[in-house]
Amino acid sequence: MSHKGKNSASSAKGKKPSKAGAESKGEDVLQAVVLADSFQDRYKPFTVETPRCLLPLANTPLIEYTLEFLAMNGVQEVYIYCGAHTDQVEDYIGRSRWASSSKSCPFSVLQFVRVADARSVGDVLRDMDKRSLVDGDFLLVHGDMVSNLILDGALAAHRKRREASAANIMTMILHSGGTEEHRTKTKGITPVFVVDTKTQRCLHYDEMNPLQSDHYLSLDPAIADELSTEFEVRADLIDAQIDICTPEVLALWSESFDYELPRRNFLHGVLKDWELNGKMIYAEIFEDGYAARASNLQMYDAISRDILGRWTFPFIPENNIVPKQAYKKHSNNVVIETGASHAHDAKLQNSVIGTDTSIGSGSRVINSIIGTGCKIGANVTLENSYVWNGTTIGDGTAVSQSILAGNVVAVATAFVRRAVELASPEHGGLDPSKAAERALTACRGAPKFVSEVGVGGGQAAQVDFILALQRALQHYAKGGQQGQDQQQGGKSATLLPAMLQQLYALDILEEEGILGWWADARAVDGEAMAGLKEKCRVLVEWLENAEEEDDDDEDDDDDDDDDSD
């Protein structure tokens, strides 16, 4: 792994472009398009209620790293597309230092772009072309990217090539992963770039799937005529999908209406048809610095470890890149935020601990990141794991290589997702009651886990758990949202009473919890939530009648006692 060098950031503040002087856009105005929607479900169930770009990475929302990178590289105008959960992202940005009203915002423009019915990156970029928001060089990045690369040299080279010929439309920023093992090297599909080492022009792109029977690369014979005497076929490059683009890139996306993915479709297609379109794409390969995307959970783990190892400097916890953070580094490479506490005999090593978190006596926390407001009991062992905000871990629990995310939401969402799968035609099309039963009882110990970790005790906790079930089902009950038809969407909607009945039968939920939820105003927050609640009316009326009968029986017993006196 390369240490930070001449191409990486040397300070947390970076370059802060002035808001002034942008009255007329010129060559010096650098714009950026941030793709904050991945159009993937690799992080589910965590992203059912929260967008990926707001998930915590080392206790800092992912999008913070992306915006810091843009500010550090002199970007002045930022356009963010976030698709799902747009309101949440807008609300977060509006309360952060990136808000347009904030004096500390380094951007002259930060604008959200809403694209109706977008189903891919291609749809977003075609819409961006129609809007004509970008009219000069711009950076195209993702909202889950972490990088400390300084792009001055790459930007200068791109501009020089563009001035030489309008056919030079794009420069990819790639990072050498070397020949040795590297955490952020892909473990699945491997990107392969054919690059002319004299001109840095990329002449071919392909992907190798580990499941393929062979690992050969097929090259068009015409490519050989374009190659200089020095070229490389690189399968060792780390691609964080940072691109320097001209507006012509968006025009090409519009011409190719069926392109969806930036690399597999767009890059491969443009390079393959270069004789027809006459466009050329280049690669700037960095040997130093850091760049990676948290594109899946494996990469999330890899980048988190790199942050603990300080490879992402200056974007490390103790530099407190988000205002009001107050982390300090201690011995054993432990970073603790003001307000956190731990027993004197707790063992902490190579970890990050957020504020208002407590760690009990005899507990061990190694190679882990714990969020804010967490309660870690006594004699807990936590290794190579991530505990997100507001999570409680009971005494004597051992957790390894896991993500624990806000008990109630994570457990409820996982339960709902499994029940929906079992009710779908692809998984047998079970009726709601059977799907709910199997989702909860198929795995040994699942009911106990749901009861202790997901629900907890007390009526208030049970109400919160049912609300989490309801919100998760709301996501699936909208017919067609996840590619399901209206019939399947309606079937998902009937799962809520089936789940509540199953949880009640297993003594995980009590009458008071279900009836408390029924009376809670949050259960009718919106038309979809109200519709799901109504599906449970029969169950609730049955519980109310049963409760009345119990009261009558108790009254009869009291009368009998009085008669005997």
Confidence class for position 319, pLDDT limits 50, 70, 90 = very high
**Fold adopted by 409-478+489-544:** 1.25.40
Domain ranges of the chain: 31-212+220-297, 326-404, 409-478+489-544
Which tokens sit at 437? 């039963």
Q: Are strands 334-337 and 327-330 parallel, antiparallel or unpaired?
A: antiparallel
Question: Which pTM does this prediction carry?
Answer: 0.72
Q: What is the DSSP string of 439-477?
A: HHHSSTTHHHHIIIIII-SSHHHHHHHHHHHHHHHHHHH
pLDDT of residue 553: 58
At 168-204, the pLDDT tens digits run 999 999 998 866 666 666 666 788 999 988 899 998 8
- Higher pLDDT residue, 46 or 401? 401
**Fold adopted by 326-404:** UDP N-Acetylglucosamine Acyltransferase; domain 1 (2.160.10)
Q: How many alpha carbons fall within 13 Å on the CB side of residue 304?
A: 29
- Higher pLDDT residue, 549 or 419? 419
Q: What is the CA radius of gyration of the chain?
A: 27
pLDDT of residue 421: 85
Write down the mean pLDDT value for the chain.
83
Helix (H) or strand (E) holding 328: strand 327-330
At 397-413, the pLDDT tens digits run 788 888 887 656 667 77
Look up tokens 């792009």; give the residue: 151
Phi, psi values for residue 429, rounded to 5° = 60, 45
At 68-95, the pLDDT tens digits run 999 999 999 999 998 777 888 999 999 9
Distance CA(188)–CA(315), nearest Å, equals: 27
Distance CA(51)–CA(360), nearest Å, equals: 32
pLDDT of residue 424: 84
Distance CA(300)–CA(306), nearest Å, equals: 10
- Higher pLDDT residue, 128 or 230? 128
Q: What is the mean pLDDT of residues 464-492?
A: 65
Of 3-17, 322-336, 442-456, minimum mean pLDDT range:
3-17
- Higher pLDDT residue, 154 or 3? 154
Phi, psi values for residue 518, rounded to 5° = -60, -35
Q: Report the DSSP beta bridge partners of residue 32.
A: 78, 139
Ordered alpha helix ranges (H), 294-371: 297-308
The edge-to-edge listing of strands for the beta sheet with 341-342 is: 341-342, 358-359, 375-376, 392-393
Which tokens sit at 70? 């843009």
Distance CA(110)–CA(312), nearest Å, equals: 25
At 352-394, the pLDDT tens digits run 999 999 999 999 999 999 999 898 989 999 999 999 988 877 7
Distance CA(516)–CA(329), nearest Å, equals: 45
Q: Which of 5-9, 218-222, 447-451, 496-500 has the highest mean pLDDT?
A: 496-500
**Fold adopted by 31-212+220-297:** Spore Coat Polysaccharide Biosynthesis Protein SpsA; Chain A (3.90.550)
Q: How many alpha carbons fall within 13 Å on the CB side of residue 238?
A: 30
Exposed (0-12), middle (13-18) or buried (19+): which is 95, by Cβ within 10 Å? exposed
Nearest Cα residue to 451 out of 408, 418, 421, 420? 408
